Amino acid sequence: MRSFVVGLVVAPLLTVSVSAQDMPLSQVLIDGEQWQQVGQGYKFTEGPAVDQHGNVFFTDVPDSKIYRIDAKTGKVTVFVSDSARTNGLMFGPDGRLYGCLMGDRQIVAYKPDGSHDVIATDVSSNDIVVDSRGHVWFTDPANQQVWHVNPNGKKRVVAKGWRPNGVILSTHEGTLIVTDSNAPHLWALRVEQDGGLKFKSPSYQPLVLPPNQDRPGSDGMTVDKDGRLYVATHAGIQMFDTQMRPSGVILKPQNRFLSNVCFGGTNFDHLYATCSDKVYRLKVKVKGAPYFTRAKRGE
């Protein structure tokens, strides 16, 4: 049975000390605040994305459903009841919810009524990001590549040669950051004006490994308005400062697979986490940086 009401405190938080640090995790966490359960009873949650009102949408991939968390009430309702195993989600500047339809091998943009427009076809996909100009990038781990779709709908492969997983843009939208679950770091690539990618380099390192683990399991990511990056890993939510230095780890809300994170809520000051069969939120001191808070890059 699914629970659609914010639940009880479920887990303490963990801060990892880091030297030479001007943006420590203490600037983010609020004393006494704990993870709260938003929903439970799902098969596998993924893809949290926030709209301009702070409502958070997430997917239950095996169950082919997309859910909406009301920013004001915390109530969870079904947004799409047959999503063809949609995985990653991200809102675009047109107000549509872009998604990776793994079952139909499509990238689509969901309208407010749950219907959708097809953005790209015959593609394998996992996670997705959209910039303030309407450019789309999505990862294709099965074929070890990253795709780009321009605002006119033209698709092309813009990076390849490793197994990309999660993807996010920096706050200035000039850098695309990509995870590889097996790598001890993240990948940073410069975004060209036409959506192309250059100068791929290992960044945001080292990632913390939990005991008896030989891979970080890095997956989905988000950024805050000050430029910090947050990545879901086996160890928890690992935070990095604007210089790509590790700042600490927020303990997972439960001891199960942590897939993704995003900021949401009416003030965008809650960190939402999709963690296996449940979804959680944590109130923090900082605010997220979704597309509508960013200045557009010049064409």
Tens-place pLDDT, residues 135-190: 999 999 999 999 999 999 999 999 999 999 999 999 999 999 999 999 999 999 99
Tell me if 5 is assigned to some domain: no
Tell me if 164 is assigned to some domain: yes
Tell me if 18 is assigned to some domain: no
Per-residue pLDDT tens digits for 74-89: 999 999 999 999 999 9
Could you tell me which residues come within 8 angstroms of residue 113 by beta carbon, excluding any fewer than 6 positions away?
none
Q: How many domains does the chain have?
A: 1
Which residue range(s) make up the domain with 255?
25-289
Tell me if 296 is assigned to some domain: no
- Based on the number of CB atoms within 10 Å of its own CB, is 281 exposed (0-12), middle (13-18) or buried (19 or more)? buried
CA–CA dist 127, 219 (Å, integer)? 9
Tell me if 297 is assigned to some domain: no
Q: What is the pLDDT of residue 252?
A: 97
The domain spanning residue 128 has which CATH number?
A: 2.120.10.30
Say if pTM beats, i.e. exceeds, 0.75. Answer: yes
Tell me if 64 is assigned to some domain: yes
Tell me if 6 is assigned to some domain: no
Tell me if 3 is assigned to some domain: no
